[in-house]
Structure 1
């Protein structure tokens, strides 16, 4: 079932694959994913490799290598059952394929294993996955602006994502959160983000751990008048996050986004009527009552 889901997702987003493959991160990851396959099948090279096949054919996989690759497929399918976006599906494939390649290369030749691990370390240090740069209505906070902005107007509800750029889960969630901001952002319901990997004081102040073991990244927190009303994922007594899937359906349901959006529209209409009564004039035509405010900080500022 996980394989079918992954295949359907891949085919649906196939036009986007070509754009991604043009990026250095994906090109390099793909080459490193198929590295063992290329070495094992390359004419002129595979003849000199060791093998445990009974027929002595060193240009084909032996039974242990097939076993490792089958185990890799099972792990990828299990992980992709909880994947939300295509980036997560591809990321899981890349990550576990590299782990399998390390095992296969060390089993084949320790020198090849050391060389492959060195390439993996160099890749991690020099090549970062591309950040989401699509449309969004999100306010990016710093350590000095988050408190002031959340407490500025008690009638405004904020949904704030606490994230870190180094977290692959946060990077995969970015397009989902951006899409929600495009659908639901209005005068009374705002979306914000703060990089707690950069602002450690914010992490401590709002009790969101950046430790990979805590699994609290990303965290979504609902604020009203600067006061926290709820957060996902919830945290148990040991400081570990309770497992929760960050997809748009769960977020809309748990945070009651449809209800909050309807209340925010009423709030916005009430403000316009009040201003009209005070000024004795109608609001200017051509202004959309739900037009969201543009973010004042860009991703590059972070």
Structure 2
């Protein structure tokens, strides 16, 4: 099942996947992911490679290389059990394929290992994954506009994503959040985003850590009248995010979006109190939460505020 789920998801989204797989970033990533396979199977090259096969066939995998590839497959299947989007599934495959390639090339020849590792580092430093550019009803905040917008109309409920462009989790979540904004944006319910990797003071004010170790990115905060009502993921005493899956279903359920939307789209003067009556989990005080063991009336706004 762990293998069939990403396969069915991939086939369902194949037309969309086809478009972004042809982007230079993914073309180069796929090439790096299959580099060892190409070297080992390319006539004219493989004949000159060392091998531990008993038959001396250097154009086929030896037993140790098969073990490494099988271990890679097991790791990818385990990681993909928690993947949300097709991008995450493909990203996991590419990432761990590169790791396996490093091991395989170093085992084959230290010079080839160093060359491949250098190519991966150069690629990582010079190429960034393409940012989601699809349709959305999302307002992009800066450090100077977020407070003003949240306090502008106390009748409006805001769901704000705190993200950073360098975070793979935020990049994968972008399409999910955009889809939610298209479905639920209305006069009284709006969606926003703020880049805490760029505006550090915002992250400090709203207590969203940008450290990769804290795993707090992305964070979704719900505001009513400028006040925070809830956030996901929650944070434990050590400042680490409690494990929470950013699926569309989880967000709709936890943020009570269906009921919130029905109330918010009827927004008019004097009806703000109905929104306030919706029940949300209380926001725990800092350090109060214990760690769990296991863990957009608006026109589309797609330009970022400067």
Once the two structures are superposed, what CA deviation does each residue of 1:213-237 show, in whole Å capped at 9, x if it has no partner? 0000000000111111100000000
Match of 2:236 in 1: 236
C-alpha distance in 2 between matches for 1:216 and 1:157:
22
* Higher Cα radius of gyration: 1
> Residue by residue, what CA displacement relative to the aligned partner does 1:86-112 show, whole Å, maximum 9, x if unpaired?
111111111110000001000110000
Kindly report structure 1 stretches of 4+ aligned residues shifted beyond 4 Å. Answer: none
Considering fraction of residues, name the structure with more helix.
Answer: 1
TM-score normalised per structure 2 = 0.89
Question: What CA distance in whole angstroms lies between the structure 2 residues aligned with 1:85 and 1:148?
Answer: 33
Query: Is the 1:196–1:210 Cα contact (8 Å) retained in structure 2?
Result: yes
Find the aligned partners of 2:131 and 2:20 in 1 and give their Cα distance: 12
Secondary structure in 2 aligned to 1:192? strand
How much does 1:3 deviate?
0.7
The residue number in structure 1 matching 2:89 is 89
Are 2:286 and 1:298 equivalent residues in the alignment? Answer: no
Q: Return closer, same or farther for 1:185/1:268 CA change in 2, 3 Å cut-off.
A: farther
Where does residue 61 of structure 1 map in the other structure? 61
Aligned to 1:147: 147
Aligned counterpart, 2:18: 18
Which structure 2 residues correspond to residues 204-223 of structure 1 after superposition, within 5 A? Answer: 204-223=204-223
Whether the aligned pair in 2 keeps the contact of 1:186 and 1:293 (CA below 8 Å) is no
> Aligned residue for 1:168?
168
| 1:223-262 paired onto structure 2 within 5 Å | 223-262=223-262
Q: TM-score, normalised by structure 1?
A: 0.90
In 1, Cα distance between equivalents of 2:120 and 2:58: 25
CA distance in 1, matches of 2:205, 2:269: 35
Unpaired segments of 5 or more residues in structure 1? 272-289
Residues in 2 aligned to 1:253 and 1:231: alpha-carbon distance in whole angstroms: 13
- 1:116-148 CA distances to partner (integer Å, 9 max, x unpaired)? 011001101111111100110000000000011
CA contact 1:187–1:293 (8 Å) conserved in 2: no
Secondary structure at 2:68's aligned position in 1? Answer: helix
